[in-house]
Each structure stands twice: as structure tokens, then as C-alpha cells.
Amino acid sequence: MKFPQPHRLDEIAHLLGISFRGDPSLPVLGMNEIHVVNRGDIVFVDHPKYYDKALSSKASIVLINKEVSCPEGKGLLISQDPFNDFNRLTKHFMPFVASDVSIAPTASIGAETQIQPQVFIGNQVRIGKHCLIHPNVVIYDHTEIGDYVEIHAGTIIGADAFYYKNRPSGHDKLLSSGKVVIEDRVHLGALCTIDRGVSGATTIGYGSKLDNQVHIGHDTKVGKHCLIASQTGVAGCVTIEDRVTLWGQVGTTSGITIGEKAVVMGQTGVTKSIPGGQSYFGTPVQESREQLKQLAQLKQLPKLLQNKQN
């Protein structure tokens, strides 16, 4: 998430009521998670395992719960609870804005786009030309939709990321300040759910088609001309390259890459990154011919055991 205007490091520290290290006038342009940070961004880190990664990232400012040496050219915000302070920044720079109308006055809708009854379109949503939005679709704030997009009934775009911190008192939610980007000529089936990014964008690429009841997790990037069949669940921060096919009831773990033109057979659990140009099946995922060969060999075990006994 980028701020409406640049701020200084000392201004952000004052806003949070915490100390800082580094140049007080260091520009602060936004805040993002580690995998999408750029120069000028704040990133938070609250676990020793990730200190080095955060300090060496592209982020200009690190919100951290430990006194460490300030890297050259960067700034530090010293916090007792970086997770909570990151949420405080989200509330300050992107507060929830309630709506009392079905289509927010700040939404932009292109020419020849048809909006069916009972559709909700939130604040700062942009919808392109020649789209068709069917009844009971919900489009949360800041979503961007291209041209010639069709969205079927009951689909929800832009719900919060499923991202929680486990504390002794329970699970604390990391507030979402990202968005969803739906590129041109995408078709979304009925009852799909596409979560927005925590601070970046969840993207559905040009010409991709999603069947009914598909879930896409936060910050996932679906490439161009992909096909995703019904009841597939894609976790957060997954990269699905161009022309991938995921058949019904596929599930993935987070943070993986599915290579270009990969085909994943139904009910497969994609537990790791897989190269493109091949077909896959099973849990844990394997190349489909190898997996089917192993299953065929397993069927021969009773006969082999009987022959051995004889």
C-alpha cells in the first residue's frame, strides 16, 4: 500500500509513539509485506528467524522489536509489538469506510457494463467497459476490474486475507490494505471468493477462466489464460504462471510456483513448487505418469505376495 503523500521517518515514529534509528527525514512512501516491498516502504518483522531477511530487503524502513544496527541508507522503527503497530498504520492510512448505498459514489463503471440487481460495489472500485456483473456479487473497496469481464452470481471479490498471529490470548488478525486486480476478459463462475492482498494485489491475469466455487488466497498471482475448475482452493502468495490448468478440487500450499502450461489433475494436493509443461497428480504431488505407474505397481502387491507364499 502506498500512502496518499510521502511522510518522514520521524513523523511515522511520532504517530506510533515509538523511537526510531536513522535519518529523521528519510522518505516513507508506503507499507508492504516482505515479498512485495520496494524502496520507501515499511516492512515489519517480529521473529528472529526473519530479522536478516527484513533488514536486507528492498524496504527503506524496518519496524522491528529488537535493537539492532541500522543498515546504511535505511531507518528502523523500534517497537514492542511490530504486528500491532503495522495494524495501527493500516487503520490510520486506510481506515474502513462504511457504505449505505449499493454502488459507492466513488466507484467508476465503464461504458456498456451491465450491473444486475443486488450487486454491491464498494469505495474506489474501478470496472472497465463491456462487463457483465450478475446478481448478488460483492466487490469490496479498491478492486480493479478490466474490460469484457463476466462475474457470476454470489462471487465475492476483495474479502480480507486469512492472516493471523497466534498469541496466548488467541489469534490476532493482520488487517488487509491491499486490493484485487482482475484483468481483461476474465470470467469468474458463481460463488467464487478472491481475497485481497495484505498490502499488495491479488491478480487474476488476462483471459483466465475460473469455474464455480473457486477460492484464491491473498497476494496470489494467476497468470494469463489459466483454467481453474470447481472447488479448487489456492492458498496465499502462490504464483500460477500462464496457461496453467487446475482441475476440480485441487488444493495448494502457500508461497509456491506452478509453472507455465502445467496441468494439475483433480483432487491433487500441490505441496511444493512444480515446473511447467507437465501433468501432475496425487498428494503429495508427483508427475502424473510416475504416480499412476506407482499405483499400478501397488495393485500387483497382493499377487506378488501370494506367489511368494506359494
Please give the positions annotated as active site. Answer: 218
Kindly give, in sequence order, each residue whose CB lies less than 8 Å from that of residue 149, ignoring residues fewer than 6 positions away.
127, 128, 131, 132, 182, 184, 185, 186, 187, 188
DSSP letter for 194, please.
Answer: E
Cα 126 to the chain's mean position, in Å? 19
In angstroms, rounded to a whole number, what is the distance separating the alpha carbons of residues 133 and 155?
A: 10
Which of 84, 32, 28 lies closest to 20 in space, CA to CA?
Answer: 28
**Residues of the chain by 3-state class (helix, strand, coil), percent to 5:** 15, 30, 50
In sequence order, the 6+-apart residues with CB closer than 8 A to the CB of 263 are: 244, 245, 247, 278, 279, 280
The separation between CA 154 and the C-alpha centre of its own chain, rounded to angstroms, equals 20
Beta bridge partners of 245: 227, 263
